[in-house]
Amino acid sequence: MKLIILVTLCVAAVAWARPSSTYTDKWDHINVDEILESQRLLKGYVDCLLDKGRCTPDAKTLKETLPDALEHECSKCTKKQKEGSDKVIKFLVNKRPDLWKDLASKYDPEDIYQARYKDKIEAVKHT
């Protein structure tokens, strides 16, 4: 009996410790367009990311996930998350370069990711 409990605990521990292949899809159905079109919502997300304001649960998750996503080229992003990030990048680069600059100086002070994603950033400019 003790052996069965031990094996069960080991299996549970391995399953729990194994990294997920994608980030949580819990917020994949958030309307990114609504956030980008709303000054209030966009400001809330940006303020959270820049440590200038309180974070909603979804903004907090974004803040926690963003460094890993940048480092690993969004390899754990779901398809919906990749589409959303492309939309956000395009919006910020073209319509809110001030926010893009603020976020870049916080999350990419050495321009590592700006250089890595240069072609992608250039491709969305004025499209």
Contact 69, 23 (CB under 8 A): yes
Q: Which amino acid is at 27?
A: W
Sign of CA dihedral 53, 55, 65, 85: negative
Give the pLDDT of residue 20: 60
pLDDT tens per residue, range 82-126: 999 999 999 999 999 999 999 999 999 999 988 888 887 888 777
Q: HSE (CB half, 13 Å, CA atoms) of 47?
A: 11
Domain ranges of the chain: 23-124
CATH architecture of 23-124: Orthogonal Bundle (1.10)
Q: Is the pTM of this model over 0.85?
A: no
Place of tokens 């919906």: 80
